[in-house]
Structure 1
Amino acid sequence: MPECFSPGYSDTRVIIDCTEFRIEVPPTVDDRVVCYSHYKKGFTAKVIIGITPGGFICFKSKVARGRKTNSQMTVESGLLGLLETGDVFLADKGFAEIKKVLGDSGREVKIVMPPFLTKKHEFSKKETTYEVARVRIHVERIMQRLRVYRVLDKIPHNLFSCIDDIVHMCCVLVNLQPPILSTNNSM
């Protein structure tokens, strides 16, 4: 386990995040409706990626159209069924609804997310800890590596039927690169 996970996150099983990438304008109105992302202000597809604490991709959801929420995709992907009692997984704020799903499942799986700024105007000193960000940054580095090949830039609509295979191959290429963490590296 890399040092940056000790001691607070030594039980981490997976770090998840979602990435969106642009696609060509879909040919039908129905496809345009489900592919339009208000967040990206364009037509997108998205995928949930899970990495190990060591920085390797260990999970990839099916690619979904841009309108689906991160929580919907996570539930539909089957990832939660792979988690066991005592596991810890890290996610960002876009996965808030997962806490309820995990609570309803009865399994004691801990989800760690950055704090939310709700009715307050600023975070407390305890909430401003960078511990979560320090370990979650690794999934952002992996997402950046997925984009390096530029294969996922503006996918043509006629290739959407094989988009899962394309993303899978990009994940394989990322896993073949040198690790993002070394054993003596704290970041």
Structure 2
Amino acid sequence: MATDLAWEFELEAVTASELFISTPINYVCGVDPVEVSELVAENRQHRQDLASSAITAENQQRNFSSSGVQTDKQRNQFDFEELRKSEKQLRYYTGFSTKQFDAVYKFLVPDGDYPINLPSNRQKEIMCITLENQLLLVIMKLRHDFDYVDLGYRFGASKQTVSILLTHWINYMFLRCGEVSIWPPRDTIFQHMPQNYQQDFPTTFAIFDCTEMKICKPSSLSAQSQTFSDYKSTNTLKSLVACDPRGSIIYASMLFAGSMSDKEIFKQSGCQDMLKELVKEGYLKEGDGVMADKGFNIHSEVEECGLKLNIPPFARSGVQMTKHDALHTKKIAAHRVHVERAIARIKRFQIVARRLPLSLYTSINQIWYVCAFLSNFFNPCIQDK
């Protein structure tokens, strides 16, 4: 190779007439001198073209950088400070406005200190992501149920790091939200009660309903039987939810098997004991009411708490419903829909609206309660006039 290069440069230094003089040497090599001269000139032109192309590409790259065009490495980095500049984009990815997101962040990180304990082998990678971006990552997972690989690409982290980060944040958020009593005092509920609700049910301060979430079929036949819901015709988990007259979540139980009745969940969730405690502490008064659907045949349990149950009246077989019962049913239906709207707001978080994978079973209770709690940062279902 070195001999060939030396031969090429030697040819460049001599004239065409000199090439003819050295004919014996060239013919020994099997190369015509004229062809060698043409190849040398072509090679020189090719090198000049390559150098010119490289300079042009470098100048274009500088122009792209100065005009704000991002490279692939920059484009896959999500940043909250950039995202908050577009209210529309922030609402799409999180469901929150800038003000609401800031309120969530201030609630979860009140003093600005690091809220979670990081594993030593992941500290360096996680610390490269700011706290705002970590919370953004978690809420994007709850809101859209993005895959770990997708989130890792967006935030410049590995799949394993994203999984660890989400687990630690969800556990912390569950504990932080659990420290707050979300059942308001009686006077506060009455003060913000919608006018038409206040006219119909002035002493009814909570609306109860159960909601179900579809899950992947368990491998165990026993678990399949326990979680199968006749209402949904699939395997589900079930939670008892209560909202105030404005549609804000004031109670959300843990998840139970989908085959359980609403009445049984009311007993096992501890809701009955909670109502007794609320009456004892003055959050409710004896004689106040709670509202529910016909499926909640819990008259005796609610009366034990000193409260009254408002449910639609049952029609007797073969007898037409009276005018009073029909009007009462209509009133309850008009106001009970608020709890369905409140549940729909929880399920804006796609992670609990879609069929739950088996991989989330160990943390699904924490995820469910965090989503229920965060839904209260949305605007109320019923706005004050």
Q: Pairwise mapping of residues 143-182 of structure 1 onto structure 2 (< 5 A)? A: 143-152=343-352, 153-182=354-383
Match of 1:115 among 308, 313, 320: 313
Identity rate, percent: 28
Q: C-alpha distance in 1, partners of 2:370/2:235? A: 22
1:24 aligned residue? 216
Relative contact order, higher structure (CA 8 A, sep 6+):
1
Q: Which moved more, 1:107-116 or 1:61-70?
A: 107-116
Task: Summarize deviations over 1:85-142 as a string: whole Å, max 9, x none.
Answer: 222100001101x112234x2x431000112223135322111112111211100111
The Cα of 1:13 is off from its aligned counterpart by: 2.1
Asked whether the equivalents of residues 48 and 74 of structure 1 are also in contact (C-alpha less than 8 Å), the reply is yes
Task: Please name the residue that 2:340 is paired with.
Answer: 140
1:43 aligns with 2:235: yes
TM superposition shift of 1:183: 2.3
SS at match of 2:242: strand
**Of the candidates 291, 296, 301, which is equivalent to residue 101 of structure 1?**
301
Partner of 2:288: 87
Q: Is the 8 A contact 2:239 2:256 kept in 1?
A: yes
- Residue type at the aligned position of 2:209: D
- Indicate if the aligned counterparts of 2:247 and 2:382 stay in contact, CA closer than 8 A: yes
Query: What is the letter of the counterpart of residue 300 of structure 2?
Result: K
* 1:36 shift after superposition: 0.5
| 2:351 partner amino acid | V
Give CA deviations for 1:34-74 in whole Å, capped at 9, x if unaligned: 00111111000010101112221110111001011111001
If each structure's strand is expressed as a fraction of its own residues, which one has the higher value?
1
Q: Distance in 1 between matches of 2:246 and 2:322?
A: 31
Assess if the C-alpha contact under 8 Å between 1:20 and 1:46 holds in 2.
Answer: yes
The verdict on how the C-alpha distance between 1:165 and 1:117 changes in structure 2, with shifts beyond 3 A counting, is same
Q: Distance in 2 between matches of 1:4 and 1:109?
A: 22
Shift of 1:160: 1.6
Structure 1 residue runs of 4+, over 3 Å off? none
Choose from 320, 328, 331 the match for 1:131.
331
Tell me what 2:248 maps to.
56
Q: State which drifts further: 26-35 or 78-87.
A: 78-87
Q: Taking structure 2 as the reference length, what is the TM-score of the superposition?
A: 0.45
TM-score for both structures, normalised by structure 1: 0.90
- Note if contact 1:4-1:134 (Cα within 8 Å) is conserved in structure 2: no
Q: Unaligned 5+ residue runs, structure 2?
A: 1-192, 280-285
Once superposed, what is the RMSD of the aligned Cα atoms? 1.5
1:150 Cα deviation from its structure 2 partner = 1.9
CA distance in 2, matches of 1:117, 1:22: 32
Structure with greater helix percent = 2
Matched to 1:94, the amino acid is: G
Whole-Å Cα distance in 1 between the matches of residues 206 and 364 of structure 2?
24
Q: Which has the larger radius of gyration?
A: 2
Which residue type is aligned with residue 63 of structure 1?
Answer: L
